Each structure stands twice: as C-alpha cells, then as structure tokens.
C-alpha cells in the first residue's frame, strides 16, 4: 500500500471508529492508544486498508 493518508473510500466505518476512539480515550485516559485502536478495528469490522489508515494516523508509534 502507498503512503496515502487520505480516508479510504466508503469510510463511514472509519469516521465512526475515530469518534468512538476519541470518546473512549477521553473517558478512559489510562487506556493505551494502541489497545483502543485494536478494539476499534474489531468493533467496527474495518478492512485492512482502514486499519492501516488508523494505524498510520492515530498510533503513538506512527511516523510524523
């Protein structure tokens, strides 16, 4: 996959996942971001491309 940081096509699930992740991290600041990211991938049944997008853009280990 390329280094494209745009939302994958048909990204409603990604948008919902991002909202959920934000709310979960705000209400549970002790949770690790990577754990919330993995839970969102499962909870919202994201495709590999959608998972890659979230990992690249929202993981603490993502390159800047």
User: Could you list the mean pLDDT of each consecutive 10-residue stretch along the chain, which spans 64 residues?
Assistant: 57 91 95 94 94 87 51
Q: What's the pLDDT at 25?
A: 94
Residue 39 lies inside a defined structural domain of this protein: yes
The number of folded domains in the chain is 1
User: For residue 36, what are its two tokens?
Assistant: 């919330």
Residue 64 lies inside a defined structural domain of this protein: no
Q: What's the pLDDT at 64?
A: 46
Residue 6 lies inside a defined structural domain of this protein: no
Give how far the C-alpha of residue 47 lies from the chain's centroid of Cα atoms, to the nearest Å: 11
Q: What's the pLDDT at 58?
A: 86
Residue 63 lies inside a defined structural domain of this protein: no
Give Cβ neighbours of residue 5 (< 8 Å, ≥ 6 apart): 53, 56, 57
Q: What's the pLDDT at 5?
A: 60
Structural domain of residue 17, as residue ranges? 12-58
Q: What's the pLDDT at 1?
A: 45
Residue 61: C-alpha distances to residues 9, 11, 27, 34 (Å):
24, 23, 22, 9
């Amino acid at each position: 996959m390329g280094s494209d940081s745009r939302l994958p096509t048909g990204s409603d699930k990604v948008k919902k996942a991002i909202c959920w992740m934000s709310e979960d991290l705000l209400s549970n600041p002790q949770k690790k971001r990577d754990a919330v990211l993995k839970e969102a991938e499962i909870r919202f049944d994201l495709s590999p491309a959608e998972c890659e997008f979230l990992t690249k853009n929202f993981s603490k280990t993502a390159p800047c």
